[in-house]
Amino acid sequence: MQNKAPLNGFERGILKFFHDLGNLNSFAFRFFKAMWYPPYDVAEIMRHMYELGVKTMPIVSVTGIIIGLVLAMQSQPVLARFGAESFLPAMVTISVVRELGPVLTAVIFAGRVSSGIGAELGSMRVTEQIDAMEVSAINPFKYLVVTRIIATTAILPILTMYSIFLSVLGCYIAIILFQPMTISLYIGAVIDSIKFADFIPGMAKTIIFGFIVGLVGTEKGYNAQNGTEGVGVASTTAVVVSSLLILITDTVLVKLSLVLWPTV
């Protein structure tokens, strides 16, 4: 019988990605099973929301303003060719609310939070702190994993709304660099262009993105192996996998939102 050719790097990467998906599915099933049973560590969830959410606000603030600034500055010359500069506030607002704000905020959030969770839980795993909790009759999965996933799922929509507000503000800053426009006129143009239904796809996506960030970070850290080297691998892999899943999921959700809200 002829021996099979060894897998190349790309093929190994694809197999590892699908292997990670299988592990994440099992981990997610365990999470949904555990979250309904007491005790409910509300105080711990609030603490993680502060640690993972509030402390991420500085980088989210910078990202939000830059999104609005860059998008407005890049779009203004193109719209000026067609005499459509008056549509600039509407174009930027709709783009940020429906797509750019949720996705870019989620990727930034994953870069900081998912790696931090992976490193923290990975360190606890390799130093046998998680094993010690099990010996002490404490459910480490409930205390360490469930609370963090709930916190990331709850805090990301709030951070996204904050980022969208700053993006709209950044757009106004860019506009007044090109032409005079009062803030009241700009606010009126933004309000006239946006509908409540425009927020539904974006905000719904952020709930899923927040869940992905928490799930990937906790799974990689909770199952870390090989000592301190495994901690670094867990942290790095958590960022890569969570960011990739966010982009893939967004592609599917964009198509789904167009089917559910075709006229929006």
Cβ contact 224:230 at 8 Å: yes
**220 or 7, higher pLDDT:** 220
Whether 71 shows a pLDDT value over 80: the answer reads yes
* pLDDT at 256 (0 to 100): 79
Instruction: Output 13 or 89, whichever has higher pLDDT.
Output: 89
User: Mean pLDDT, to the nearest integer, of 121-131?
Assistant: 83
Backbone angles phi, psi at 213, to 5 degrees: -60, -50
Higher pLDDT, 170 or 19: 170
Non-local (6+) Cβ contacts of 129 within 8 A are 123
Q: Give the helix ranges, DSSP H, for 82-194.
A: 88-95, 101-109, 115-126, 129-135, 140, 147-178, 183-193
Q: Map tokens 């927040």 to a residue.
A: 210
pLDDT band at 1 (very low <50, low <70, confident <90, very high): very low
Is the distance from CB of 110 to CB of 156 less than 8 angstroms? Answer: no
Which range has the worst mean pLDDT, 15-24, 164-173, 213-222?
A: 15-24
DSSP calls for 124-138: HHHTTHHHHHHHTT-
The mean pLDDT of the chain is 83
pTM above 0.85, yes or no: yes
Helix (H, G, I), strand (E, B) or coil at 262: coil
Structure tokens at 193: 């262009």
